Amino acid sequence: MTNPQWNAVDTYFTDTIAPADEALTAALAGSVAAGLPEIAVAPNQGKLLHLLARIQGARSILEIGTLGGYSTIWLARALPTDGRLITLEYDPEHAEVARTNIARAGLDKIVEVRTGAALDSLPQLEAEGAGPFDLFFIDADKVNNPRYVEWALKLSRPGSVIIVDNVVRGGRITTPDPDDPAITGTRELFELVAAEPRLDATAVQTVGAKGYDGLLLARVIG
């Protein structure tokens, strides 16, 4: 679901207050050249992630779903020089493209790309004592979103921020659909967050170059 006016407004926002630079442009171009799906966040949404991380004062970030590393670059740029970002990517080819893009952006010293199923990598992070993380960005397979948020809670601290992308699904989130695992998983996510006393959350709808969707934003309060 797209609209020319939405695209025009996104372009205006991006050109005026969130312009691309060489590393970001190269990350998108490299991802397209490698055949990755063109589903990275829009530039103004990447800038939103960057600002949220800076507002949070994040020193450590966990991203679930790397793709070509475009959102990773936006987030990592919000970190101090001694900060760290771990990003989890299921597909080895996607992970290799992301590593190239991240290195080109000069961020490979603070970003680590881990390959494999996130539900395998997350217990490893816990065993390593990798947490707590200050901010989580979840943008992977939607069916496992509830599990990813549960893991984010395990690896968080009071005050940590959790962001989950693509929660509106073109408006289809309002109707249960047993034949669509993404809808089922996203609705379960909302039910989990609503029932979880350690989370204070909201969700917003967005329109733009990426169509009609939205994100969930939660803060760990205990």
Structure tokens belonging to residue 84: 């760290």
**Confidence band (pLDDT; 50, 70, 90) for 210?**
confident
Please state, in angstroms and rounded to a whole number, the distance separating the CA atoms of residues 167 and 82. 32
Q: Which residues pair with 211 in a beta bridge?
A: 208
Q: How many Å apart are CA 65 and CA 127, to the nearest integer? A: 20
Token pair listed for 8: 């025009």
| Peptide bond between residue 132 and the one before it cis (omega within 30 degrees of 0) | yes
What pLDDT is stored for residue 222 in this prediction?
78
Domains and CATH numbers, the chain: 4-220 (3.40.50.150)
Euclidean distance between CA atoms 167 and 185, whole angstroms: 10
102 and 72 in contact (C-beta within 8 Å)? yes
Does the structure show a pLDDT above 80 at 2?
no
The reported pLDDT for the residue numbered 213 is: 94
Phi-psi category of 176—alpha, beta or left, where left has phi over 0 and alpha has psi -120 to 50? beta
Residues 49 and 41 sit within 8 Å (Cβ to Cβ): yes
CA angle 39, 149, 216 (to 5 degrees): 55
pLDDT at 20: 85
pLDDT tens track for 93-135: 999 999 999 999 999 999 999 999 999 999 999 999 998 999 9
Residues 132-171 have pLDDT tens digits of: 999 999 999 999 999 999 999 999 999 999 999 999 999 9
- Stretch 40-53: mean pLDDT: 96
pLDDT at 1 over 90: no
142/152 Cα distance (integer angstroms): 15
Q: Strand locations in the chain, DSSP E? A: 60-64, 84-89, 111-115, 135-138, 161-165, 199-208, 211-220
- For residue 3, what pLDDT band results from cuts at 50, 70 and 90? confident
Q: By the 8 A CB rule, do 71 and 63 touch?
A: yes
Threshold 0.85, pTM exceeds: yes
CB 185 within 8 A of CB 143: yes
| 200 secondary structure, DSSP code | E
